[in-house]
Amino acid sequence: MKLPFSILFSICVLTLYSGTSYAQAANPDNNITLTVNQPLVFSYNFADELVHDKIINNALELKVRSAQYNTNIYATLSLIGGDISQFAQQISLRLRNKTSISAATGSANTDIYLANTPVLLFYQPRMIDNTPYYSFYYDVVMHPFTYQVRPGTYNFSILFTMTQP
Amino acid sequence: MKKVLFLIYIIVIAPFCCRAQSGGLFSLNQTANGTITLPPLQDLRVTALNNTGISFEGAKDFANGKHVNSQYQLKVLSNIPWYISVRASDPVLTALTPTTPRDIPVSIVRLKPSTASSYINLSTAAQTLMVSENNNLENTYYIDMKFDPSWTLPGGSYNIPLEFTLSPQ
């Protein structure tokens, strides 16, 4: 069966239209920038450290601009070359400060435990003032280890994702 | 020509459109990387729960031996399999009073974990007292003691030269 060119063209246009959001990913009105203020390095020298929190204060600053859309910000933990399951309930982000008064972040100083699936950090409604961006400052907390975490060197990454709800 | 244009669309443009649609209206990412350095670590805390000393209070203690339950508390912290050994740092109990006529051999002192049934005799050679038996980072144990002096040993006050050592298996 031979489709008329007009139909094919319409399909193309419709698909492109629905995909315009892809172009919006680069929209300067909605973006996220991460600044690592303190290196995320956790070193252990004494056994006693294994059973106490280790905190890197003010480690991360997330700059969020949401001038066009409401946004959700998620974080996902991944372990590079290791079994992520042994780090369940191990690493959390603790909101230390923020410049947004409209973000739904939950209580300050509450730990948000990271996992290998996206965890919602906060909801930021569309900005209504002329602020260029809102800043969110996070401590990174390493919680007491379990015996299941074997001695070694582990590399991890925290992926921050901004999406439209 | 039309077919060529359509093929170009299908191969080059359509995948990008589909990708955008599957991730919601937009999705922006930022990543922070970090490192955890976790060496093998061990710590042993020994606490004498009875600080008033152990007294022989009658002939029965000499005849049957003197039992002291939970004389020591051992707190073990280790992220690797471990064992604890015990030894006497001196072959004799150290006399505290100068009038004590002679020293007493450490072999009259016997020890065991409170959960064990048999004692080991203390000596200057290290003996295994316990080994790790679970996957806990922290464990607390209690050590029972027994003293089996003979009737011929002299009275007096003595120190016990005990040495506990935590080691990796």
Over chain B, what HEC string results? Answer: CHHHHHHHHHHHHHHHHHHHHHCCCCEEEEEEEEEEEECCCEEEEEEECCCCCCCCCCHHHHHHCEEEEEEEEEEEEECCCEEEEEEECCCEEEECCCCCCCCEEHHHEEEEECCCCCCEECCCCCEEEEECCCCCCEEEEEEEEEECCCCCCCCCCEECCEEEEEEEC
Rounded Cα–Cα distance for residues A67 and A59 (Å):
26
Q: What integer pLDDT is reported at residue A70 of this predicted model?
A: 93
Planar angle of CA A141, A147, A150, nearest 5 degrees: 85
Domain ranges of chain B: 42-168
Q: What is the CATH number of domain B42-168?
A: 2.60.40
- Distance (Å) from the C-alpha of residue B2 to the closest C-alpha of chain A? 7
Average of per-residue pLDDT across B156-169: 90
B32 interaction partners in chain A (CB closer than 8 Å)? 34, 36, 40, 60, 157-158, 160
What confidence category does residue B163 fall into, taking pLDDT thresholds of 50, 70 and 90?
very high
Q: What is the pLDDT of residues B123-157, one digit of tens each?
A: 999 999 999 999 899 999 999 999 988 777 777 78
Q: What is the pLDDT of residues A6-18, one digit of tens each?
A: 554 444 444 433 3
Interface test with A, best of B10, B12, B38, B135 (most A CBs within 10 A): B38
- ipTM for the complex shown: 0.80
What confidence category does residue A71 fall into, taking pLDDT thresholds of 50, 70 and 90?
very high
Q: Using CA atoms of A120, A121, A127, A128 in order, give the dihedral in degrees to the nearest 10.
A: 100
Looking at domain A27-163, which of 1.10.287, 2.40.50, 2.60.40, 3.40.50 is its CATH number? 2.60.40
- Rounded percentage of chain A residues whose pLDDT exceeds 90: 61
What confidence category does residue B165 fall into, taking pLDDT thresholds of 50, 70 and 90?
very high
Q: What integer pLDDT is reported at residue A9 of this predicted model?
A: 47
Q: Which of A20-34, A95-109, B96-110 has the weakest average pLDDT? A: A20-34
Q: What is the pLDDT of residues A79-125, one digit of tens each?
A: 987 777 888 889 999 999 999 988 887 777 789 999 999 999 999 99
Interface test with B, best of A21, A43, A155 (most B CBs within 10 A): A21
- Distance (Å) from the C-alpha of residue A74 to the closest C-alpha of chain B? 9
> Is the pLDDT at B23 greater than 60, yes or no?
no
Do A34 and B30 make contact, defined as CB atoms within 8 angstroms?
yes
Nearest CA in chain A to B23: A163
Higher per-residue pLDDT: B100 or B38? B38
Do B79 and A47 make contact, defined as CB atoms within 8 angstroms?
yes
DSSP string, A52-81: S-EEEEEEEEEEEEESSS-EEEEEEEEEET
- Rounded percentage of chain A residues whose pLDDT exceeds 70: 84
Average of per-residue pLDDT across A7-36: 58
Higher per-residue pLDDT: A19 or B7? B7
Domain ranges of chain A: 27-163
Average pLDDT, chain A: 84
- B80 close contact with A: CB closer than 8 A: yes
Do A32 and B30 make contact, defined as CB atoms within 8 angstroms?
yes
Q: How far is CA A5 from CA A9, A11, B12, in A?
A: 6, 10, 18
**What 3-state class would DSSP assign to A21?**
helix
**A-to-B residue pairs, Cβ atoms closer than 8 angstroms:** 157
Higher per-residue pLDDT: A41 or B61? A41
- B78 close contact with A: CB closer than 8 A: yes
Average of per-residue pLDDT across B7-26: 45
- Distance (Å) from the C-alpha of residue B44 to the closest C-alpha of chain A? 9
- B2 close contact with A: CB closer than 8 A: yes
Nearest CA in chain B to A2: B3
Rounded Cα–Cα distance for residues B129 and B122 (Å):
10
- Rounded percentage of chain B residues whose pLDDT exceeds 90: 51
- B43 close contact with A: CB closer than 8 A: yes
Higher per-residue pLDDT: A107 or B13? A107
Q: What integer pLDDT is reported at residue A40 of this predicted model?
A: 97
